Each structure stands twice: as structure tokens, then as C-alpha cells.
Structure 1
Amino acid sequence: MRIEIEQPRQRWVEDFAALKRAIMRAAPAGAYLHHIGSTAIPGLPAKDIIDIQLTVNDLADVDAEAFEQAGFERRPIVTDHGPPGVDLAEDELRKAFYRSRGRPANLHIRERGRFNQRYSLLCRDFLRAHPTAAGAYALIKQRLAQRFPEDIDFYYDIKDPVFDIIMDGANEWARLIGWSEPPSD
């Protein structure tokens, strides 16, 4: 897979809305969705892949066949990256991961209240509220993609720790403003 960072597009919001309908038909009762990742941050360049978080009460409630029928292929990724120096129980990073067979999209299914479920939402909201941080993050992604367009592992080996640095500021910001999980998108 070649890494290409594109200029922001209004279409990303519209594509999320279309994907949401298919996902919610397959989702277990009580589940809800958020548009996450770079395509969810207005004005931020990104890979043309929509990242979506489906929050569920329990990963055991996920019907893999229902998501397959909705056009999503299960992938072997079952945990998220854990920040260095943060001791987390394995459950705090567990997820189910699907890739759309149609419009490029990643579906991250995470349990309500877990570290990884909060992490993606807080980071998104922090970057939405801090354009300088979002711009610096965009520049890092663009330069990585320019220098290593064919090396997806290297791209994430650098990008994930950069997010951990961003999250240090995001956690402080969350405490200062009393941030809490936003309603479903």
C-alpha cells in the first residue's frame, strides 16, 4: 500500500455518513459511532481512508458475519498501540478491526470506557481545538509519506509515538476544560 497524504475534502464527512448507515445495521444494540482520525478534523490533510470508531458494551456482542455482509472484512489486528511507559491491562487496548471492501475505510470496534476508546476521541477533539498542533501533525505525516511512501510499518512506527506526545497535551487540556466523551456523530 502506497502512503499518500491528500488535501482535506468535504467528501470525507459525506462518506462517513454513508458508511455509518451500513455499520449501524450490523452493530449490536446500544452501539454508537464516531468519525475519528485525520479525516474527522476539518482542514487536516490525510490519507483518503475514513476511520470510524464503533463503541460497543462488549466485543463479544459483535457479529462478525453481520459486518462481513455489510461490506467489511475482518482483519487480524486485535489490539491498539500502547503509549510507552503507560502500564495498561490488555483489555484497555483490545479491539476488533475491519476494513471496508468498498470505499476505503477502517472500522475500529472498541469497548465503552476503555483507554483506546477514549484515546481516539480525545485526540480528535484536541486537534480540532488546536490548529497549530494539527498543522504540525499534518506536516509530520506529509514528510513521512514523502520520504517513505512504500513503508507503512515505518510510517506508523513514527506516527504512533507522535500521537503519544500529542496525547500528553490532550490529557492536560481535557482536565482543564472538563472534556467528556461527545455524543455520537
Structure 2
Amino acid sequence: MRIEIEPPRQSWVDDFAKLKLAILRAAPDGAYIHHIGSTAVPGLVAKNIIDIQVTVDDLAQVDSTAFEREGFTHRPGLIDHCPPELELPENELRKLFYKSTGRPANVHVREKGRFNQRFSLLCRDFLRSHPTAASAYALIKQRLAERFPTDAHAYYDIKDPVFDIIIEGANEWAKVIGWSEPPGD
């Protein structure tokens, strides 16, 4: 798969809204959904893949066959990246992951209150509120895609630590403004 970074599109918001309907039909009771990742940051360049976070109380509540009926294929065995210098138990990074069989989308199902669930929302909100940081991140992504257009491992080996830097600033910002998890989108 070729890594291509595209200009921002209004259609990403609309595509999220359509995907959300199918995900809600598959998600367990009490789950809520957020549009995450670069397509969720207005004005930010991104791969044309909608990232969606489904927050649940317990991953064991999730019925993978319900997601498959709605057009999402389960990719087992994935956990999120752990920033260096943190020693987090696996349950703080565990998730269920689904790829859309239709419009390109990634669905990350995470447990409420876990490190990885907060991380994606806080980074998104920080980039939404800090255009200079978002522009610098955009430039990094564009340059990585130019240098590693067909090597996703190299792309993410560099991109993941960039987010470790972003989360440091985001955590300080969250303390200053009293950030808390927003309601679902």
C-alpha cells in the first residue's frame, strides 16, 4: 500500500458521520464514538483514511460478528504504541481493531479511562487548538510519505515518536485549560 498524504477535505467529516451510523449498530450498549486522527483536525493533511475511536466499558462486550455484518474486518492481536520511558501494563494499550471493507477507515475500540483511549483524544484536541504544532506535524507526515512511500514500517517508526513529543505538550496544555474527555462526536 502506498502512503499518500492528501490536502484536507470537508468530505472527511461527512464520511465519518456515515461510518458512525454503521458502527453504532455494531457497538455494544453504552459505547460512544469519536472522530480521531488527522482527518479529525480541520485543515490538516492526512491519508484518506478515517480513524474512529469507539469507547467501551470492557473490550469483552464487543461482538466482532456485529462489526463484520456492518462491513468491518477484525485485525486481531494489535496493541497501541507505548511511549518511551513509560512502563504501562498491556491493558492500558490493548484495543480491538477493524478495517472498513468499503470507504477506507480504521476503527479503534478502546476501554474508557485507559491510557490509549485518552491519548488519541487529547492529541486530536491539542492539534485542533495549536495550528503551529498541527502545521509542523503535517510537514513531518508529508516528508515521511515522500521518503518512505511504500514502507509503512519506516513511516510509523518515525511518526509514533513524534506523537510521543506531541503528547508531552498536550498533557501540559490539558492541565492549564482543565481539559477533560469531550462527549462523543
Structure 1 runs of 4+ off > 6 angstroms? Answer: none
1:1-185 equivalence runs, <5 A: 1-185=1-185
Distance verdict in 2 for CA 1:3–1:171, change over 3 Å: same
How far did residue 76 of structure 1 move?
2.6
SS at match of 1:108: strand
Distance 1:77 1:179 in 2: 31
TM-score (norm 1): 0.99
Amino acid of the structure 2 residue aligned with 1:107? V
Deviation of 1:87 (Å) = 1.1
Size of the aligned set, in residue pairs, is: 185
Cα distance, 1:77–1:143 mapped onto 2, change above 3 Å:
farther
Structure 2 counterpart of 1:122, one-letter code: L
Distance 2:182 2:70 in 1: 26
Deviation of 1:183 (Å): 0.6
Deviations 1:33-65 (A, max 9, x none): 000000000000000000000000000000000
Offset, 1:78? 2.5
- Shift of residue 89, structure 1, vs aligned partner: 1.0
Query: What secondary structure is seen at the aligned counterpart in 2 of 1:23?
Result: helix
Amino acid of the structure 2 residue aligned with 1:165: I
- Percent of aligned pairs sharing the same letter: 74
- How far residue 77 of structure 1 moved from its aligned partner, in angstroms, is 4.1
Deviations 1:82-103 (A, max 9, x none): 0000111110000000000000
Normalised by the length of structure 2, the TM-score is: 0.99
Residues 72-121 of structure 1, C-alpha deviations (whole Å, 9 max, x = no match): 00013421000000111110000000000000000000000000000000
Q: Distance in 1 between matches of 2:166 and 2:70?
A: 34
The CA RMSD measured in Å over matched residues stands at 0.5
Distance 1:133 1:31 in 2: 31
